[in-house]
Amino acid sequence: MEYETSKEVSQNEKNKSNFSFFKNTFEIILKNKAATLGLCIILFLVLVSIFGKLIMPYNPYLGSLSDSLKPPSSSHWFGTDEQGRDILSRIIDGTRISLRVGIISVAIALSLGTIFGSLAGYYGGKIDLIVMRFMDMILAFPSLLLAIAFMSALGKGIDKAIIAISIVTIPEYARIVRGCILSVRDSEYVQAAKVIGNNDLAIIFKHILPNIMSPIIVRATLGVSTAILETSALGFLGLGVQPPYAEWGSMLGSGRGYFFNAPYLVWFPGIAITVTVLAFNLFGDGLRDALDPKFRK
């Protein structure tokens, strides 16, 4: 009974410590005006992606040729495209697609990168040599060119874009995780975990990773903006998300032919991409400062 009580008290103290940490982190972010602005924009985009169907003035996939290339007006705030579809509705729908591709691709790359980086950093030797040389091979190619190559091999579509962007960004997370594990692999708490009989997987995922998550979280936050930018680039080239889906990059690609007589076809998707990428970058920079021990002190 005493053991269980002591264990519960220890768990409660740990929960309070975690709550205090997150509360302090959130307070530091709120003091950073740029990070707060980025967070507000991200929350707004998330709400738009969730409730977008309720606020769309028109169906983003239906249009009338008689309404094609209409300039911004009270009936169509952002104008219409070459097929008479409402641009505002398509940008709202594109928010869901861009966030989906960005978040899912980062989640996949982060998971696989964490596994590869953990194995390489913890075991070292031949495993480290094989894993990291393979990662270096991927990093030797520009990420966008490699994504284009994968899209050419896999085909076009949302799922293919997620896979391609995930693969080209795995090495970034693997190198970060490996470097962090190398810095703490010989720490006292790791040695203590070995002494009390924890296996390697328990040491890596239960003791090491929770203590090195700060730089990984920051890189993942910034990685979402990179993934959205690469998704837009693939869509602009006609290799990413395909019509009739309203993806911002493909909207840019289809609207570039009308740049001189209907420039709003390019302006509004471009602004959406710029604001979204900027928001994640601002929030990522603020999160990095908030998780920096020197800054917190």
**What is the per-residue pLDDT for 271?**
94
Q: Which amino acid is at 186?
A: D
Does some domain include residue 23?
no
**Count of domains observed in the chain:** 1
pTM over cut 0.75:
yes
**What is the per-residue pLDDT for 207?**
84
| Pairwise CA distance, residues 229 & 89, whole Å | 21
Q: 46: which 2 tokens?
A: 């998330």
Instruction: From first to last of the 297 residues of the chain, give the pLDDT tens digit.
Output: 444 455 454 455 555 555 566 777 778 788 889 989 999 999 999 999 999 888 898 988 888 888 888 899 888 899 998 888 999 999 999 999 899 999 999 999 999 999 999 999 999 889 999 999 999 999 888 888 898 888 888 888 888 889 999 999 999 999 999 999 988 888 888 888 888 888 888 888 888 888 888 888 889 998 999 999 998 888 888 887 777 778 898 888 888 888 888 899 999 999 999 999 999 999 988 888 777 665 555
Does some domain include residue 11?
no
**What is the per-residue pLDDT for 295?**
57
- What residues make up the domain containing 247? 30-296
Does some domain include residue 175?
yes
Does some domain include residue 280?
yes
Does some domain include residue 14?
no
**What is the per-residue pLDDT for 247?**
87
Does some domain include residue 15?
no
CATH number at residue 59: 1.10.3720.10
Does some domain include residue 8?
no
Nearest in space to 247 (alpha carbons), one of 94, 50, 63 = 94
According to DSSP, residue 255 is labeled: H
According to DSSP, residue 196 is labeled: T
**What is the per-residue pLDDT for 8?**
52
Handedness of CA 157, 158, 161, 162 (dihedral sign): negative
